């Protein structure tokens, strides 16, 4: 990678942006003591970098790769909407099918009018976005949509996908529909330019807030004309790890049909879990305790790791007795350093699986000693053929030859040399939990986690809980998180490119 491009890529990866202003780039170069504006100017001349003059007179920079990825996504969004337009159905026809779904598949429960709107949106458009928070009935809507699409066309082929194996399994469990990861469906490997073409008639992409600019570009160009594509996600959750804010930009552009589900069904009015989800989503740094939500406030200042750990271990011991080991998780912002999932896992293991027979492994990169035992829950940390990064399985055998792990769809053997791919999964980072659900979530965040503290992070952690959430925290940490929205400062131009291209389509085709 050319030097100038490397400077810009490193700056963008820190913020998740696809563009950076000259002012911010100069600050970053000064902070990291790398490069000068002359390097950047030469990078533009050599076409490794791209510059853009903003309306306020400032100049922004990006790599040619990110710039072209945004262009291609915008082009493909328009292509999929308009080159072969979707067949249109009368509202009366779809309403009748929804009535049938309610009676036959939904135990007579009626859909909210927003949910009905979502079904009609997908049936009548080739590209659409369905968004909403936890408990707003996205799963019911997806089931209603598939019912209606199959009633309208008995030959239709539908596929459900998600960015992670965990999220794909949740779709299968909740809808009964087979689902796979986007990577597996499109055969995206180390050489992402060789992705497969999507041949089914309709594709749903769940947890789409996790899709970065790179994956979204590969996905969009893999879809032929005339197919039906639905992005499903919650914009209040954590944004993608990689650069971009694709779901946010699609919704904000007003160039694609969007239905936002706002009516909540999952929790009743007495649910404090739901009340706290709403508080965090609205940036209110206050927790309300009740039967399904418990907050433990720690004293302010540094040095509270020991007390926090004691509270976590105590809460965990009670929770696994109530719900079972596989239905409880401890979530923290960090995987390494101080109060982190690595250090907690070894202690939680002694509570959940205290046996002494197993295989000891030293992870040199983490500087962590692990003891893999039969019945341990473990997480895969990298993609491989049999399982994906983030998948959680259970150890079924452990010996000097290595271990075997049972995942939902496969049993995988690990030699001692492979064990760096695994971590214990009694605790994990909040990022790694995205796409999962647990009966009980125990979450801890402290002032020492300040670099990671964002509203989206706390929201994502709390919304992993289905029945009960226990939060161990410091007030300043909560206030810091509520003030910071993860993708608010992500500087991208996808929204503007979508709007510009939509205006061109309107002038040329009158649509």
Which domains are present in the chain? 3-68 (1.10.10.10), 84-265+492-509 (3.40.50.300), 272-473 (3.40.50.300)
* Residues with Cβ within 8 Å of residue 287, at least 6 apart in sequence: 276, 279, 293, 295, 471, 473, 478
What is the distance between the alpha carbons of residues 475 and 299, in angstroms, rounded to a whole number?
8
What is the distance between the alpha carbons of residues 511 and 507, in angstroms, rounded to a whole number?
8
**Tens place of pLDDT for every residue, the chain, 511 residues?**
788 899 999 999 988 999 999 999 999 999 988 888 999 999 999 999 999 998 888 899 999 999 999 999 999 999 999 989 899 999 999 999 999 999 999 999 999 999 999 999 999 999 999 999 888 889 999 999 999 999 999 999 999 999 888 888 889 888 899 898 888 888 776 444 556 788 899 999 999 999 999 999 999 999 999 999 999 999 899 888 899 999 999 999 999 999 999 877 655 557 899 999 999 999 999 999 999 999 999 999 988 999 999 999 999 999 999 999 999 999 999 998 889 999 999 999 999 999 777 788 877 777 778 889 999 999 998 877 788 788 899 999 988 888 999 987 789 999 988 888 999 999 999 999 988 899 999 999 999 998 899 999 999 999 999 999 999 999 999 999 999 887 778 999 999 999 999 999 888 777 7
What is the distance between the alpha carbons of residues 158 and 129, in angstroms, rounded to a whole number?
16
What is the distance between the alpha carbons of residues 132 and 158, in angstroms, rounded to a whole number?
22
At residue 61, what are phi and psi to the nearest 5 degrees?
-130, 150
Burial class (CB in 10 A: 0-12, 13-18, 19+), 1: exposed
* Residues with Cβ within 8 Å of residue 288, at least 6 apart in sequence: 272, 275, 276, 279
SS (H, E, C) 127-142: EEEEEECCCCCHHHHH
> What is the side-by-side order of every strand in the sheet holding 427-429?
293-297, 465-473, 438-445, 328-332, 427-429
């Amino acid at each position: 990678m050319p030097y100038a491009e490397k400077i810009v890529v490193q700056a963008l990866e820190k913020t998740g942006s696809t563009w950076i202003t000259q002012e911010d780039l100069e600050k970053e170069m000064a902070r990291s003591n790398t490069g000068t504006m002359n390097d950047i100017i030469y990078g533009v001349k050599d076409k490794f970098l791209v510059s853009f003059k903003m309306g306020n007179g400032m100049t922004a920079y990006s790599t040619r790769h990110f710039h072209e990825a945004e262009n291609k996504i915008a082009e493909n969004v328009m292509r999929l909407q308009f080159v072969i337009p979707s067949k249109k159905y009368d509202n009366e026809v779809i309403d009748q099918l929804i009535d049938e779904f309610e009676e036959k598949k939904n135990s007579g429960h009626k859909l909210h009018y927003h949910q009905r709107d979502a079904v009609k949106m997908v049936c009548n458009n080739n590209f659409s976005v369905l968004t909403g928070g936890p408990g707003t009935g996205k799963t019911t809507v997806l089931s209603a949509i598939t019912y209606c699409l199959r009633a309208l066309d008995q030959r239709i082929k539908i596929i459900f996908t998600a960015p992670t194996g965990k999220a794909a399994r949740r779709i299968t469990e909740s809808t009964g529909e087979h689902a796979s990861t986007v990577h597996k469906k499109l055969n995206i490997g180390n050489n992402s330019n060789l992705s497969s073409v999507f041949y089914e008639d309709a594709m749903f992409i769940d947890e789409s807030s996790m899709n970065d600019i790179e994956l979204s570009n590969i996905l969009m160009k893999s879809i032929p004309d005339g197919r039906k594509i639905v992005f499903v996600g919650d914009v209040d959750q954590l944004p993608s790890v990689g650069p971009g804010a694709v779901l946010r930009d699609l919704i904000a552009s007003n160039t694609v049909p969007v239905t936002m589900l706002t009516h909540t069904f999952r929790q009743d009015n007495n649910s404090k879990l739901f009340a706290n989800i709403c508080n965090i989503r609205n940036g209110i740094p206050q927790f309300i305790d009740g039967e399904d939500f418990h907050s433990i406030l720690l004293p302010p200042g540094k040095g509270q790791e020991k007390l926090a750990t004691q509270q976590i271990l105590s809460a965990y011991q009670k929770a696994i007795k109530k719900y079972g080991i596989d239905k409880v998780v401890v979530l923290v912002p960090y995987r390494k350093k101080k109060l982190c999932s690595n250090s907690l896992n070894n202690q939680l293991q002694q509570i959940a699986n205290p046996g002494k027979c197993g295989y000891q492994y030293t992870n040199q990169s983490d500087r962590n000693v692990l003891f893999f035992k039969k019945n341990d829950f473990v997480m895969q940390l990298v993609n491989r053929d049999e399982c994906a990064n983030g998948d959680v399985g259970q150890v079924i055998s452990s010996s000097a030859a290595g271990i075997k792990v049972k995942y939902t769809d496969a049993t995988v053997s690990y030699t001692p040399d492979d064990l760096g791919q695994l971590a214990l999964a009694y605790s994990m980072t909040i990022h790694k939990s995205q796409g999962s659900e647990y009966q009980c979530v125990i979450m801890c965040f402290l002032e020492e986690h300040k670099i990671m503290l964002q509203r989206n992070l706390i929201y994502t952690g709390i919304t992993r809980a289905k029945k009960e959430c226990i939060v161990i925290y410091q007030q300043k940490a909560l206030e810091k998180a509520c003030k910071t929205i993860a993708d608010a400062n992500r500087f991208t131009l996808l929204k503007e490119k979508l709007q510009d291209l939509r205006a061109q389509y309107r002038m040329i085709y009158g649509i």
